[in-house]
Structure 1
Amino acid sequence: MTGDGLLPALHRLARETAHPAGACPACGRGTVLADRPDAAVVRHGAAVVKAHADGTDPGAHRVRLALAGHPRLAGIFLAPLRPAAERVHGRLVTAWPYGVPVDPEDPDAAPWEHAAELLARLHAVPLTGLAGALPGPVPPMRAPLKVTAAVSRMRAAAPAHPAARAVERARDGLRLAGGPAGPLALCHGDLHLGQLVRDRAAGRWLLIDVDDIGAGDPAWDLARPAAWFAAGMLPPGVWARFLGAYRAAGGTAVPRDGDPWPRLEGPARALVVQTAALALAKAAEEGREPDEVEELMIGACVRIAALGPN
């Protein structure tokens, strides 16, 4: 949860962003969309403001914010309303247009093909063509770091859980160091359906969340749906639609045809480890047992640990 004073300040900033000409008495106080240690998000009308995680690197974040507004990413990423973040209660805060999120109550309408196409287009953006318009070099994509952070959180919250040792063994078997199997690409770094919104003006889906974007192995952007498929959480037909749309759009993370798993297995295993570690940590922090979905990922991680290094 956020510290005292941050949420009221975000409400005020969101209201001022949505109504720069003055007050709007009929508009209400606004809505808290998220209130977590890693992000606090408040909406007021057509504007959303986000307080990023405490300790966010301001230099890398400045570049990531500029990437979201870069002309080469128009139609791929939601562009910010303001080109720079500001400090609010010690946190970096950014402003965005409100986009309609994916409806969690309608899984059959989930825009998997749109997500795949957006990823393929993002991965095709030439890194060399971005540097001149950015305030610094493109930072590394943060996905591998999040695996390590999740395991550290598990160690602190649930060190004695029977599955924690299996998660540790699975983590030790991962190859997180070293470069990608192919050329570096511009990656999202944390792709899931919560990272898509529909632009209300244009009616198209766009990627959101700049916190992890950077240069890296594009296979990591396919790792979460691949991990869900491998764990039995994503139906084979949905996985086939996603992978087929990515390939049809020219995605570079996997071969154009044939078996994609030589490229995806390592990142997919890593995402299973990350998800299982977070499941154990969150359950322990909330004083409960893992739920059914969390148990699926923990079970998948136990199976990975039994397979040995990837």
Structure 2
Amino acid sequence: MSSAEVVRTLGGLAHAAAHPASGAPCPCPPPTVLADRPDGTVVRSGGVVAKAHAPGTGGPDFAARLALAAAPALRGVLLPPLPAPHPLPRADGRPVTLWPYGDPVDPGDHEAAPWEEAAGLLGRLHRTAPPAPLPPMRGPAKVALAVARMRAARSADPARDAVLTAWAALPAWARAEAPVPAGRAGFLCHGDLHLGQLVRHPAPHGSWLLIDIDDAGTGDPAWDLARPAAWYAAGLLPGTVWTRFLDAYRAVGGPAVPPAGDPWPELDVPARALTVQTAALALAKAAEQGREPDEVERMMTDACARIASLPPELAAGRTS
């Protein structure tokens, strides 16, 4: 099935869910593609969104993650899915889930983004006991996949070596080669927190909620703070915004960092891992598209170069 056929299938499923058969002509516009990437294709029709998950998604782990989104304990934190038939519909062999549409964050204005709301949602998520057995969150696995993609793209950029050096300096658990250290592994985590994972529902003025449970599970809650921490360390996120985010997380009792004082002993390894992931993806995409990394991408590869230049005892960071 081609990408266009997947989109048509998703559009049909979303349209049918948004407009139960009434016999009347439908005046709504054609379905809209919200995302079409290897890890997921998302199409909207009216108030419904259909998502074809990544190839290979399925089994008990995926079922547990999907049930998590509907768990009553997480109402007001995670966007719940719409009722779906069993088994789930499929597009090109990929499971399809249906969700209510939510209004996304404006990607062009990081300072005006709902940082406090995101931090509050994360704190509530991390403080919630897993309502059922869950697999490990996939954050470290995504770093490994990003490095593998960079290697496969055969990037000739000089920054590649710095990314690999920063990658090698991470402890084994942050490379998905060992379990998360004892005492940090049992928290409920989103696994891939960024601004694209927030929507207002009901759109456009409802409450902010977290979306996308594909990487959720148990693990180190500091991982969910790591992307904004990495952006701050790289100079992409102003210190005032980082402070707003961190203060809001602490205000709701988030367990990833101490309630006061220096958060970096807990954030150091996840932040370095997310820096590696972002830089590796940047070099992979640039090589695949036959271009040079842009200014923002170069800031992340420069951050990897700074990590790579640290003495081994500092680069090793927290390992337990």
SS at match of 1:294: helix
> Is 2:218 aligned against 1:215?
yes
Are positions 1:240 and 2:243 aligned together?
A: yes
Counting only pairs closer than 5 Å after superposition, residues 1-310 of structure 1 correspond to structure 2 as 3-22=3-22, 24-83=25-84, 85-127=88-130, 130-131=131-132, 137-175=133-171, 176=174, 177-180=178-181, 182-183=183-184, 184-200=186-202, 203-307=206-310, 308-310=315-317
Measured after TM superposition, the shift of residue 37 of structure 1 is 1.1
Gaps of at least 5 residues in structure 2 are none
2-side partners of 1:4 and 1:204: how far apart?
Answer: 33
For residues 140-196 of structure 1, the C-alpha deviation after alignment (integer angstroms, 9 at most, x for no partner) is 100000000000000010343211111111100001234246342000000011100
* CA distance in structure 1 between the aligned counterparts of 2:239 and 2:61, rounded to whole angstroms: 37
The separation in 2 between residues aligned to 1:52 and 1:222, in whole angstroms, is: 24
Classify the secondary structure of the residue corresponding to 1:109.
coil
Counterpart CA distance in 2 for 1:282 and 1:126 is: 38
Q: Is the 8 A contact 1:172 1:309 kept in 2?
A: no
Aligned residues: 303
SS at match of 1:247: helix
Please identify, of 195-204 and 273-282, the stretch whose mean Cα deviation from structure 2 is larger. Answer: 195-204
Aligned AA (1:3): S
C-alpha change, 1:71 and 1:278, in structure 2 (3 Å) is same
Give CA-to-partner distance per residue, 1:226-270, whole Å, 9 cap, x none. Answer: 000000101000000000000000100000001000000000000
* Structure 1 residue 3: Cα displacement: 3.2
- Aligned letter for 1:7? V
Q: Distance in 2 between matches of 1:304 and 1:2?
A: 41
Alignment check: 8 A CA contact 1:2 1:36 kept? no
Question: For the aligned residues, what is the CA RMSD?
Answer: 1.6
**1:89-140 CA deviation, whole Å, 9 max, x = no partner?**
201110000000001234332100000000000001112xx12xxxxx3111
Once residues 232 and 181 of structure 2 are traced to their aligned partners in structure 1, the CA distance between those partners, rounded to angstroms, is: 22
Q: Give the conservation status (yes or no) of the 8 Å contact 2:10–2:50.
A: yes
Distance verdict in 2 for CA 1:172–1:57, change over 3 Å: farther
Once the two structures are superposed, residues 271-298 of structure 1 have per-residue CA deviations (whole angstroms, 9 ceiling, x without a partner) of: 0000000000001111111011000001
The runs of at least 4 aligned residues of structure 1 exceeding 4 Å deviation read none
Partner Cα separation in structure 2 for residue 171 and residue 164 of structure 1: 11
| 3-state SS, counterpart of residue 218 of structure 2 | strand
Structure-2-length-normalised TM-score = 0.91
Q: Helix, strand or coil: the match of 1:289? A: coil
Q: Which runs of 5+ in 1 are unaligned?
A: 132-136
Cα separation, 1, equivalents of 2:69 and 2:145 = 25
Cα deviation, residue 305, structure 1: 1.1
**Greater shift after overlay, 19-28 or 292-301?**
19-28
Give the Cα–Cα distance (whole angstroms) in 2 for the partners of residues 2 and 105 of structure 1.
Answer: 31
Percent identity between the two aligned chains: 62
1:5 Cα deviation (Å)? 1.7
